[in-house]
Amino acid sequence: MEKRKNLTYRLMPTVWLLLFLALVLGASAVTVSAEERSFAVDVKSVSGQPVPVAIPLGDVRDQLDKDFFVNWDTLRVIDAAGKEIPFQIDDVDLNGELSRADEIAFIASGPVTIKVTDDEWADVPQYPAAFTVESGQDGEFRILSQDGGMAAEVTRFGTVNVTRFAGVEQTYIKDLGLVRFAGFPQSRYWSGGSLGPHEERTTLEEPLRIVQGRVLKPGPARVAVVQQYASDLFPGLRVGVVIAIYATGDIRVRTTASIKAYTDFTKLGTIVNAVMADAKDARHVLVPFRWLDFAEEEGKTSVEYYREKGAVVEVDGKPYIAFADTRGPQPPFWGASYIFASVEKWRTNYSASQGMGVAEIIVNPPALPEGLADKIKGLGWQLESEWRTIYFRWVAQEIVQRRLDNGIKVELEPDMEKGNWALHAEPGDTFVWDQWYTIYKAQDLENAIRWLEKRSVELGPVAVTPVS
- Fold adopted by 133-458: Beta-galactosidase; Chain A, domain 5 (2.70.98)
Q: Choose the weakest-confidence range: 1-5, 36-40, 177-181, 192-196.
A: 1-5
The pLDDT-based confidence of 6 (bands split at 50, 70, 90) is very low
Report pLDDT digits (tens) over 330-363.
Answer: 999 998 999 999 999 999 999 999 999 999 999 9
Whether residue 351 contacts residue 442, with contact meaning beta carbons closer than 8 Å, is answered with no
- Which amino acid, residue 243? I
Q: CATH number of the domain at 36-120, please?
A: 2.60.40
137 — pLDDT class (breaks 50, 70, 90): confident
Nearest-CA neighbor of 113 among 358, 464, 352, 381? Answer: 464
Give dist(CA 271, CA 201) in Å, integer.
Answer: 12
Span of 118-122, 265-269, 451-455 with lowest mean pLDDT: 118-122
- What is the structure's pLDDT at 19? 46
Report the distance separating Cα 231 and Cα 225, nearest Å: 19
pLDDT of 12 over the 50 cut: no
| pLDDT above 50: residue 238 | yes
CB 73 within 8 A of CB 124: yes
Residue 16's pLDDT band, with cuts at 50, 70 and 90, is very low
| Spans of all domains in the chain | 36-120, 133-458
CB count in 10 Å sphere of residue 443:
9
Residues in the chain: 468
Quickly list H helices, 136-218.
189-192
pLDDT at residue number 195: 87
Task: Please report the pLDDT score of residue 74 as a whole number.
Answer: 95
Q: Give the lowest-confidence range in 67-71, 248-252, 266-270.
A: 67-71
State the Cα–Cα distance between residues 309 and 303, nearest whole angstrom: 10
pLDDT at 193 over 90: no
Return the number of other C-beta atoms located less than 10 Å from residue 248's C-beta.
Answer: 18
Q: What is the pLDDT of residue 253?
A: 98
- For 269, other C-beta atoms within 10 Å of its C-beta total 23
Domain 36-120 and domain 133-458 have a common topology:
no
pLDDT at 344: 98
Asked if the model's pLDDT at residue 3 lies above 80, the reply is: no
Report whether pLDDT(194) > 90: no
**Angle subtended at Cα 171 by Cα 45 and Cα 348, rounded to the nearest 5 degrees:** 45
Q: Which of 13-22, 97-106, 404-413 has the lowest mean pLDDT?
A: 13-22
The answer, yes or no, to whether residue 28 has pLDDT greater than 50, is no
According to the model, what pLDDT value does residue 328 have? 81
pLDDT for residue 402:
95
Q: What is the pLDDT of residues 382-433, one digit of tens each?
A: 999 899 999 999 888 999 999 999 999 998 998 888 888 999 999 999 999 9
Query: What end-to-end distance do the CA atoms of the chain give, in Å?
Result: 65
Could you read off the pLDDT of 157-170 as tens digits, one per residue?
999 999 999 999 99
E-strand spans in 222-291? Answer: 222-230, 237-246, 250-259, 263-273, 283-286
> How many CB atoms sit inside 10 A of residue 327's CB?
8
Give the model's pLDDT for residue 373. 95
The band of 33, judged by pLDDT with boundaries at 50, 70 and 90, is low
Q: Spell out a b/e string for 341-375, using b for 16 or more CB atoms within 10 Å of the CB, else e.
A: bbbbbbbbbbbbebebbbbbbbbebeeeeeebbeb
Confidence class for position 11, pLDDT limits 50, 70, 90: very low
Q: What is the DSSP letter of 329?
A: P
